[in-house]
Structure 1
Amino acid sequence: MEELKEIKSVAIVPFTLMSSSISAVLGIIYALILILVLGAVAVFLPSQSHIISSLLMTASVAIIIILPVGSFLFSVLTSFLMAFIYNLLVPRIGGIKLGMVEMKEIRSVPVIPLSLMASSIYTILTFLIILIVAPLLVVVLQGAALASISTSNSMVGLEGLGAIGLIGIVVMVIGIPILVFVFTFIYTALMALVYNFLAPKMGGIRLKFNTIKDNSFEIKKIKPIPLALISAVVMTILNFIFSLPTLAMYFATGNVPGGLGYFLGNTIGMFIVIFILYAIMALLYNYLRPFVGGIELKLE
């Protein structure tokens, strides 16, 4: 029988540590793939192009260091902020709710709580980023414009640039977060609707919990195949829906081969990539949990 559970809080440190550890390992995998690609390119280079080969070798060494470290540090920041913001928002807008079957399978996800929380978190993160990026971007644009203004009309240019810069900051700080909220809400709502339609038919995400105390639980294990399968199907359907305008343009212009290639890439290609990625993430979670600890949730 399905029982509705609300995620009242997320333990910040375990969530951050697990997310960043998975991101670091994925960074290593991405780095190895890029190195293999660069190695394949180097094989086909002419033998006299030893300089290009050396550059590719140097790039490979940099990639194997930068990608995992960068992925880890970026994930530490974003994961910490997401968990922190989630815990702050729950008393105000309510937490994400999960329709659980025997505390083992997520059979449904109520649409509004998930959409409202996801869009609120991403809007706040976007707002924080823009507060830093917007002034820097405006300064760079003004600097580039000033460099092109001649001495004779520099005063007029400065007055115009000041107004444009102020308007640009206001538009970015207010307009972009609003767009992020609307798009994220719509996308997440569609994702929940598709999940709720498919999960009873093909099975939802399956989890194994450890009881810590009272209503606090640790995610002990995530079954890779159910997670990968439902995630791949849901995201493939959504990606196909949002790609319909582009697909229509291909066929409207008579580019049938291009349209077919685009269609296959957004269905079969998307399904394969998402399935593999989420299966790897679940396997990494199960492997890393004994070492770094699992994600802890308070469910009521």
Structure 2
Amino acid sequence: MVDIKEITGVKITPFALMSSSIHAVLAFIAAIIIVLTFGLIAALIPGASLFAAFISLLGIGIIILYPLTAFFVNILYTFVVALLYNGLAGRVGGIKLGMEGDEVRSIPVVPAALILSCISAIITFIVGLYMGLGGSVVLSLISGIIPLAASSTGNATIESMFTGAGMGALSGMWAVFWIILYPIVAFIMTFIVTALFAIFYNIIIPKIGGMKLIFAESGDAFELTNIPAVPLALSLSVVIAVLGAIYGFIIGVLTGDIVAAIIMLIMYAISWFIMYFIIFALAALIYNFLQTKIGGIKLMLQ
């Protein structure tokens, strides 16, 4: 029998620390693959010893900086996400999981789509506020600097283009896009994608089995102590492969060639399945290893 559990809150520090650590390890693996790939290419090109030396030097920086950057960027991002989730869960409702023992058999569509799209809209609003105001300042500077340069060269056409109502309108359009339109688009797209993911998960999982999440009580919360890698990777990558097939078909249809649409449907489905299966399997293995070292993610379930 399926038991509906609502995630009413997230312990911020364990969530941010674990998520950032997993991203850092994955980034380290990706950095090694990037360096080895470019090193192999350089080795196969005749007379590319200078390029190979450059790649070797650059590789050291990539291997060090990429994981560090991933860790610090994600610790800030996940901290904000967890903070917003805790603030919104009591107002719009949290994500609900249909649990049958340790297996997630279903994901109610609207609760997951609503709260994740709200979080996405708020984050994009914050980013858009920065981009909108920053861009307006830059455009204002351009409108002041270029006419001065144009007037010194006697070019009246350029001078008139970057002054007056034209630059004011451009600055206003820039701000409106980033501060208003961008968050609205983010809300709509996140809602649609999350809803589609939940719908396909609910359709596919009864046939192949869902991801398994093993919890243990930890004070007033439940700690995620283990994530079996194969069920997680298989269930999520199959659902994402379906979304990839839809995306590939749409891209192909836009070219006006139905054969290209079918080819892209197949290519996206296969490539997304393989890529995300590897990513989710690695993430689960890394999580299970780190959980014993730094503790797992803690959720308030109701």
TM-score by length of 2: 0.91
The match for 1:222 among 223, 227, 246 is 227
SS for the counterpart of 1:205 is coil
Tell me if the contact between 1:38 and 1:60 (Cα under 8 Å) persists in the aligned partners.
Answer: no
Q: Could you tell me which residue of structure 2 aligns to residue 188 of structure 1? A: 194
**Does the alignment pair 1:205 with 2:211?**
yes
SS for the counterpart of 1:95 is coil
Structure 1 residues 130 and 286, CA gap change in structure 2 (3 angstroms): same
Tell me if the contact between 1:95 and 1:117 (Cα under 8 Å) persists in the aligned partners.
Answer: yes
The match for 1:248 among 245, 249, 253 is 253
Runs (5+) with no aligned partner, structure 2: none
Tell me if the contact between 2:248 and 2:267 (Cα under 8 Å) persists in the aligned partners.
Answer: no
- 1:120-139 matches, within 5 Å, as 120-139=118-137
**1:145: how far off?**
6.2
Bigger mean CA deviation after superposition, 150-159 or 230-239: 150-159
TM-score by length of 1: 0.91
Distance 2:252 2:173 in 1: 36
Structure 1 residues 147 and 58, CA gap change in structure 2 (3 angstroms): farther
Residue 183 of structure 2 aligns to which amino acid in structure 1? P
Q: Could you tell me which residue of structure 2 aligns to residue 105 of structure 1? A: 103
Q: Could you tell me which residue of structure 2 aligns to residue 58 of structure 1? A: 57
SS for the counterpart of 2:178 is helix
Aligned-residue identity in percent? 38
Q: Could you tell me which residue of structure 2 aligns to residue 35 of structure 1? A: 35
Tell me if the contact between 2:250 and 2:261 (Cα under 8 Å) persists in the aligned partners.
Answer: no
Runs of 4+ in structure 1 off by over 4 angstroms are 141-149, 258-261
Structure 1 residues 172 and 3, CA gap change in structure 2 (3 angstroms): same
Q: Could you tell me which residue of structure 2 aligns to residue 164 of structure 1? A: 170
Distance 1:76 1:242 in 2: 30
**1:31: how far off?**
0.3
Distance 2:56 2:142 in 1: 35
Q: Could you tell me which residue of structure 2 aligns to residue 263 of structure 1? A: 265
Structure 1 residues 275 and 240, CA gap change in structure 2 (3 angstroms): same
Residue 117 of structure 1 aligns to which amino acid in structure 2? I
Q: Could you tell me which residue of structure 2 aligns to residue 9 of structure 1? A: 9
Equivalent residue pairs, number: 294
Distance 1:194 1:290 in 2: 33
RMSD over aligned Cα, in angstroms? 2.0
Q: Could you tell me which residue of structure 2 aligns to residue 232 of structure 1? A: 237
Runs (5+) with no aligned partner, structure 1: none
SS for the counterpart of 2:67 is helix
Which string of whole-angstrom CA distances, capped at 9 and with x for unpartnered residues, describes residues 141-192 of structure 1? Answer: 5555666542246366322212321232022200010001001101100110
Structure 1 residues 145 and 267, CA gap change in structure 2 (3 angstroms): farther
Which string of whole-angstrom CA distances, capped at 9 and with x for unpartnered residues, describes residues 49-86 of structure 1? Answer: 44323321221111101110011011101110110000
SS for the counterpart of 2:171 is helix
Tell me if the contact between 2:139 and 2:167 (Cα under 8 Å) persists in the aligned partners.
Answer: no
